[in-house]
Structure 1
Amino acid sequence: MEFRLETFLPYRLNQAAERVSQRFAAQYRSRYRMTRPEWRALAALGAYGRMTATEIGANSSMHKTKVSRAVRALEDKRWLKRSEDANDRRVEHLELTAAGTRIYGEMIELARDYERDMAALLGAGNLLQLEAGLAAIEASLPALPARRGPND
Structure 2
Amino acid sequence: MPGTLHLDGFLPYRLSIASNRVSNVIATAYQSLFGLRIAEWRLIAVLAESDGMSQQALGIATRMDKVMVSRAATALHDRGLVQRAPNPADQRSHLLSLSKAGQDLYEQVSPKALALERQLFSGFSAEEVRQLRSMLERLEEATAAFEPQQG
TM-score (norm 1): 0.84
AA of the residue aligned to 1:58:
I
Gaps of 5+ in 1: 147-152
SS at match of 1:95: strand
Partner of 1:149: none
Which structure is richer in relative contact order (CA contacts within 8 A, separation 6 or more)? 1
Q: 1:28 is matched with which residue? A: 30
Deviation at 1:39, TM superposition (A): 1.2
Match of 1:150 in 2: none
Residues 1:74 and 2:71 aligned together: no
Q: Deviations 1:37-63 (Å, cap 9, x if unpaired)?
A: 111111111122310000000101111
**Identity of counterpart residues, as a percentage?**
33
TM-score (norm 2): 0.84
> Paired residue for 1:10?
12
Say which of 59, 62, 69 aligns to 1:60.
62
In structure 2, give the amino acid aligned to 1:31.
L
Q: How far has the Cα of 1:68 moved from its partner? A: 0.7
Equivalent position of 1:106 in the other structure: 108
Worse overlay, 112-121 or 51-60:
112-121
User: Quick one: distance in 2 between partners of 1:19 and 1:63?
Assistant: 21
Give the CA deviation at 1:124.
Answer: 4.0
- Classify 1:99/1:9 alpha carbon distance in 2 versus 1 (closer, same or farther; 3 Å): same
Change (3 A) 1:55 1:136: closer
Change (3 A) 1:11 1:47: same
- Structure 1 equivalent of residue 92 of structure 2: 90
CA distances 1:51-107 after superposition (whole Å, capped 9, x unpaired): 000000010111111111100100111000001124643120110000100111112
Q: 1:15 to 1:49 in 2, by over 3 A?
A: farther
| SS of the residue 2:102 aligns to | helix
